[in-house]
A = this chain, B = another copy of it.
Amino acid sequence: MRDFSSDHAWLSLNTATVRQQWRLPEIVDACARHGIRAIAPWRDQVADCGLERAAALIRAHGLALSGYCRGGMFPAMDAAGRRAAIEDNIRAVDEAVALGSPCLVLVVGGLPGALAGKPLSRDLGRARAEVSDGIAALLEYARTVRMPLAIEPLHPMYAAERACVNTLEHALDLCDALDPGRTGDLGVAVDVYHVWWDPKLAGQIERAGARRLLAFHVCDWLVPTTDLLVDRGMMGDGVIDIRSIRRRMEEGGYAGFSEVEIFSAGNWWKRPGDEVLATCIERHRSCV
């Protein structure tokens, strides 16, 4: 297992972690200042900056990417909606290519309308079928531009609004069905926040193997958790045994970045960005 205690060479910053403090150019500058060598930007932050400028900034600072957030959101009530989702995902793939990302992270979507607070269906089975169809269609395109897709199973508490793929096992079942040859074109993003509770986690990481372990995200589960979306903790402040999960990932063949992704409306989003990054670095050494 790699030793993270003496440097932060394998720390990547998911830019949502400081989205309330800074826009993308400031984040890139801050990473340079703190010796952080990789980021995972979000589409809205890239759009705000402009794709070409974002790509140029990232290149100029010699930053690597650990992923691009995010594609997905495939289910819709009608064919036009599902087509629009695919088209938008194709744009996301192209952006990921332009930015030099190693993968496009997929948050697959849930019940149509739910994210907007007005669910139009209770049919989770149909949503799951549409997710499978959507990934299949996108994969066809993504292969032509050599952009791997990383299905991110989200915590089951997000099944309605954000992702109806909620376990690593389910995500890998999709990989088996859509990429039986294990080409590396389709894999998973493992975020400790979403999967730490799963009794089958270790076995499923092993099942995934190196070619399908495309990303590793860290933060922590706070006790108590006061908000379903924006009360994630800094590594070490919660109950996730992060290092054990990283060990499993490395035993499974993963050798990439640990991407810090913390949504924290009440705490970290309110602190100075430099303090947040310094804390991420310290906790990456001591807790990841």
Contact = CB atoms under 8 A, between A and B. Distances in A.
Count the copies. Answer: 2
Given A119-B239, A239-B119, A241-B123, A223 B170 contact: no
A64 interface: no
A111 interface: yes
Contact of A223 (B128, B161, B196, B198): B161
A122 B239 contact: yes
A239 B170 contact: no
Contact of A156 (B117, B160, B198, B241): B198
A240 interface: yes
Interface in A146-180: 155-157, 159-161, 164, 166-167, 170
A111 B159 CA distance: 24
A29 to B, nearest CB: 35
Contacts of A114: 223, 239
Q: Is the interface of A mostly helix, strand, loop or mixed?
A: loop
Contact of A197 (B156, B225, B240): B156
B122 A240 contact: yes
Interface string A110-151: 010010010100111000100000000000000000000000
A226 B226 CA distance: 9
A68 interface: no
Nearest to A115: B223
A80 interface: no
A216 interface: no
Contact of A111 (B122, B161, B164, B239): B239
A181 interface: no
A156 B196 CA distance: 9
A53 to B, nearest CB: 35
A74 interface: no
